[in-house]
Amino acid sequence: MNAPQVRSLLLTGILSFGLASLSFAKSKSSKSSPKPSAKPSATPAAKPSPTPAQDWQVVKVGPRDYLSVDDIAKFYGLIGNVDSTGKTVVLNNGRNMLQVTIDSREAIVNGIRNWFCFPVIAHENKFLVSRIDLAKTIEPQLRPQMIQRSGKVQTIVLDPGHGGFDKGAGSTFGNEKNYALDVARQLRPLLQAKGFKVVMTRETDVFIPLEVRARIANATKDSIFVSIHFNATNSNPSAAGFEIFSLTPRGAPSTNDDALALHFVNMQAGSPMEAQSFELAAAVYHSMLGHIQEFDRGIKRARFAVLRQTQIPSVLVEGGFLSETADSKQINDPAWRKQLAESLCTGIESYRALVEKKQRPMLVAEYRAQNAGEITVVDLMMPPAKLDASPAPAIIPVTNPETTATPDPNQEP
Ligand SMILES: [Zn+2]
């Protein structure tokens, strides 16, 4: 094994173990980099060298650590294209795809909308992504096989939201509590047929406090937690689509928080299962959108009680808007809810395969290709030559609607 090989292995190790740790970030950025850099970097101590920079140059801007999109592209072997506005860059290598925009928290990762903790910034002619977003959002999706072993996935704790006097959101057709329970009831036998055990936090129309739901989850061995909800908002009657939540990382704002607000610096505790929860969210969400044509509102972060208090991998699914006409009609259709249950089952199964067999979960485009009976429907092998000349691939939604969804009152932190 020659020297460069050793070095690239070392870097792989550093990324997988070091990036998740903020303390690593601090020590890295506070002392001069011992490794050479090919071009002038934002780290003043780095010295020019003929060796191509395979190193991560941590750039400190204000209170935060950032990594350049150049470094990200190099590490993951991605090829980049900047669009005509100069504000959006698309990185692609046929296997992975990442799109980020300056001054925006919105990103597209492998065909799915993501919400970063902090906006991408421009600094000395470089796109910079916060270290926390690289470690907590990009890395788990571009290298899901690096997931830490978190035991077996034997039991699924299904948590139909609301119940009893707590009706949740409503439409002219019905209430969230009943729809959520029906999806869970339809999902249970599907999961059992795949060899999972299923525990339900409620099987009937009863009120269960959030702490009790979390306690049920925490008392179930080798399990994951899937909370099922439907959305509603007063402020925008056309808000529609799917979204999925996992716990906000420590020291970061939730998706619906202002990234510049200061209240998140109180460093609320994260979760030892945070990475697994995020992987679960991505696996389930790709399946949902891969099987059902719904608007992609994205993989989001929140400190909802059931995510905060569960010590197992946990996600909260929002299966559409009861306040939107088309969404509310399909949610009222039992056959559509069965389809939703099936997509959740497939997503959960793909998470189990990832944890237990290191099998990469299928992506939205792959599910759609499979459903269409095609071998491939989106050619990720060909990075878009020019974003300004050609429309974005169909899997990338172009619009960026306002986040108007109001979180469930009883789900708030
Ligand atoms: Zn709800």
- Show me where the domains of the chain are located: 3-143, 155-357
Ligand 1 centroid distance, CA of 244 (Å): 12
Ligand 1 centroid distance, CA of 160 (Å): 9
The reported pLDDT for the residue numbered 147 is 85
The reported pLDDT for the residue numbered 253 is 85
Ligand 1 centroid distance, CA of 230 (Å): 5
Write out the E strands in 23-118.
59-61, 64-68, 79-82, 88-92, 97-101, 106-109, 112-115
Ligand 1 centroid distance, CA of 10 (Å): 45
Ligand 1 centroid distance, CA of 161 (Å): 5
Ligand 1 centroid distance, CA of 162 (Å): 6
Ligand 1 centroid distance, CA of 324 (Å): 15
**Ion ligand 1 neighbours, Cβ < 5 Å:** 161, 168, 229, 408
Tell me phi and psi for residue 109, to 5 degrees. Answer: -120, 120
Asked whether 311 and 271 are in contact (CB, 8 A), the reply is: yes
The reported pLDDT for the residue numbered 150 is 63
Ligand 1 centroid distance, CA of 284 (Å): 18
The reported pLDDT for the residue numbered 55 is 78
pLDDT along the chain (413 residues), means of 10: 36 33 32 34 34 72 93 94 93 95 97 96 94 94 85 95 98 97 98 98 98 97 97 94 94 78 57 90 98 97 94 97 97 98 98 94 95 60 36 32 44 40
Task: Provide the 10 A C-beta neighbour count for residue 103.
Answer: 9
pTM equals 0.79
The reported pLDDT for the residue numbered 108 is 98
Ligand 1 centroid distance, CA of 288 (Å): 18
d(CA 223, CA 200) in angstroms, rounded, equals: 12
Ligand 1 centroid distance, CA of 186 (Å): 18
d(CA 314, CA 361) in angstroms, rounded, equals: 17
Ligand 1 centroid distance, CA of 169 (Å): 6
What is the three-state SS of 248-288? CCCCCCCCCCCCCCCHHHHCCCCCCCHHHHHHHHHHHHHHH
Ligand 1 centroid distance, CA of 216 (Å): 18
Ligand 1 centroid distance, CA of 16 (Å): 35
Ligand 1 centroid distance, CA of 231 (Å): 6
Ligand 1 centroid distance, CA of 276 (Å): 23
d(CA 111, CA 363) in angstroms, rounded, equals: 8
Ligand 1 centroid distance, CA of 184 (Å): 14
Task: State the fold for domain 155-357.
Answer: Aminopeptidase (3.40.630)
Q: Residues 3-143: name the CATH superfamily.
A: Copper amine oxidase-like, N-terminal domain (3.30.457.10)
d(CA 358, CA 180) in angstroms, rounded, equals: 31
d(CA 198, CA 222) in angstroms, rounded, equals: 11
Whether 155-357 and 3-143 are alike in CATH topology: the answer is no
Ligand 1 centroid distance, CA of 60 (Å): 39
Ligand 1 centroid distance, CA of 61 (Å): 38
Ligand 1 centroid distance, CA of 396 (Å): 27
Asked whether 139 and 391 are in contact (CB, 8 A), the reply is: no
Task: Spell out the long-range contacts of 29-38 with Cβ–Cβ below 8 A and sequence spacing 24 or more.
Answer: 29/58, 29/60, 29/65, 33/57
What value, to the nearest 5°, has the Cα angle with vertex 193 and ends 189 and 196?
90
Write out the E strands in 289-385.
296-302, 314-321
d(CA 279, CA 266) in angstroms, rounded, equals: 25
